[in-house]
Structure 1
């Protein structure tokens, strides 16, 4: 058959057409396969992006939970309370956070997502329950604070009232004590010589060499406030040098007045009966008396009740 015959040319055209169809088909298949591969790659990238987004969200949830539990712990500490279970939860959340952050470098599976979501839900419920408990504690503390404030106010008022009463009683006691103070009236000093003869002088001046004993006489002024009871009057005979005569053998001693220890020359016990009693001291020094001004002081119930002086020349 000739090479350029019509039949040969027709066969060539058919062959070329068939090759074109095959090439077009192969090209279409390649295009479809590339599209499928691209679509699968994009789908995998989207899955990874979603997983990463889920992981970061879960990390944020756990960070918020940890911050809230730490807040609760601080609130309890501020109220002076401790909660070991709360500290345990904070430690558990911190451990979960550490594990979640580790998934940034490895696969974060659906099972892991479900596990941490469930744990987060349980922690959130515990958080809400603890918030309600803390709110109730705060309310109770406010009530207690109010009650304590009221009690302190009442106590302060009672204390103030008691202080006022004590001060009033102390004032009244002082007034009664002052009002009940005895008073020595008509205080007189005479001297007794060796022959037992008593001498008086309106100027209270005597010759020292003739003095053997000294008599101090007085009467008690009427006092309706003073208790009718046994009392003691102390006499201090103060010599010209300023020292009180003191001799244990003649009955001298000491007593306290205004917190100060003071020596007395002689003392006398009596029963006060508010009848203007006459009392006296007869003092024997058993030695020569010094020349000069002598002072006589009388004390009873912690008060100076009389004072006079005389001169020995």
Structure 2
């Protein structure tokens, strides 16, 4: 038979208290461990969040770098400049972007972050240097454009001046040419019969059957503008039907008046000396002359310098 002594009751109380203490300690330890585990999980989540934020920031940095290098490439192309180094940088940035986006599904370590950050800094430095280079090129192009514009303006003014000068010179040439035109004065027409006897008539009327040759004489008027030089004088003997006598065997040919060919009957080469010199033609048709009014036209230097007529009856 067991006895419930005070001592045994005291021991039981001690055991209960000890058990409670142990349970309390275990609960405390469990609570602390759970707290530590939660805190560690939160730290890991924060680390992951920071890494993800860093990754997305790096992607944005590289996308901005790519856009800036593409802008630089377009600016150079607009100036007609090809730059292979920019294309190489853009290709390198695209490769880095592919790698960065791949980290979304894997670990983005501190070493990776440092490596891509340093590469971005190098790209940014190159970007700044290239912007300075492009700005200098634009400035130089602007100066060249201004100089070219000024040069073109000057050239246009010079061209206008030359055109005006040419027009003025052409006008002066035409005026000088007109002023230097020779003039046949005191034109006389006589006939020569078969015996070589010359006959004149104040009315310039002759019997056709007595005519063997036609003699035309005149004086060249004084002209101080006309240069003293060789001249060719053309005579056209126009018959009553309006056709000029033309015979290659007697020295006939063609010359130009206002860009058109015209037949002449005979020609004389002289040296104009501005002394009112006498010039004459003696023309032998070697055939019978037609009856009616004949016209004599004299030309030199492309101008009609005299005209006369006579009648054969």
TM-score by length of 2: 0.91
1:3 CA displacement: 6.7
Q: Where in structure 2 are the equivalents of 1:46-65 lying within 5 Å?
A: 46-65=46-65
Correspondence for 1:17: 17
Correspondence for 2:170: 170
Correspondence for 2:125: 125
Distance 1:307 1:94 in 2: 94
2:271 equivalent to 1:271 = yes
SS of structure 2 residue aligned to 1:39: helix
Distance 1:102 1:263 in 2: 97
1:193 CA displacement: 2.8
1:283 CA displacement: 0.8
2:246 equivalent to 1:246 = yes
Correspondence for 2:38: 38
1:249 CA displacement: 0.9
CA offsets 1:82-104 (integer angstroms, 9 cap, x no match): 22222211211121112111111
SS of structure 2 residue aligned to 1:135: helix
Q: Where in structure 2 are the equivalents of 1:200-279 lying within 5 Å?
A: 200-279=200-279
Correspondence for 2:107: 107
1:11 CA displacement: 4.0
Q: Where in structure 2 are the equivalents of 1:49-88 lying within 5 Å?
A: 49-88=49-88
1:281 CA displacement: 0.9
CA offsets 1:195-237 (integer angstroms, 9 cap, x no match): 3333334443444333322122211111011111221101112
Q: After alignment, is 175-184 or 34-43 more displaced?
A: 34-43
Q: After alignment, is 41-50 or 153-162 more displaced?
A: 153-162
Q: Return structure 1 stretches of 4+ with deviation > 6 angstroms.
A: none
Using a 3 Å threshold, how does the CA distance of structure 1 residues 33 and 291 change in structure 2: closer, same or farther? farther
1:178 CA displacement: 1.0
Q: After alignment, is 154-163 or 47-56 more displaced?
A: 154-163
2:297 equivalent to 1:305 = no
Correspondence for 1:116: 116
Distance 1:4 1:187 in 2: 186
Correspondence for 1:27: 27
SS of structure 1 residue aligned to 2:35: helix
Distance 1:133 1:310 in 2: 91
Distance 1:266 1:42 in 2: 125
1:9 CA displacement: 4.5
Supply the RMSD in Å over aligned alpha carbons.
2.1
SS of structure 1 residue aligned to 2:286: coil
Q: After alignment, is 49-58 or 138-147 more displaced?
A: 138-147
Q: After alignment, is 215-224 or 302-311 more displaced?
A: 302-311
CA offsets 1:88-128 (integer angstroms, 9 cap, x no match): 11211121112111111221111111111111111111111
How many residues matched?
Answer: 313
Query: Unaligned 5+ residue runs, structure 1?
Result: none
1:5 CA displacement: 5.5
Distance 1:162 1:63 in 2: 58
Distance 2:180 2:263 in 1: 24
CA offsets 1:151-193 (integer angstroms, 9 cap, x no match): 3333333333333333222222221111111001122323333
Correspondence for 2:188: 188
Distance 1:204 1:12 in 2: 183
Distance 1:41 1:76 in 2: 52
Query: Unaligned 5+ residue runs, structure 2?
Result: none
TM-score by length of 1: 0.91
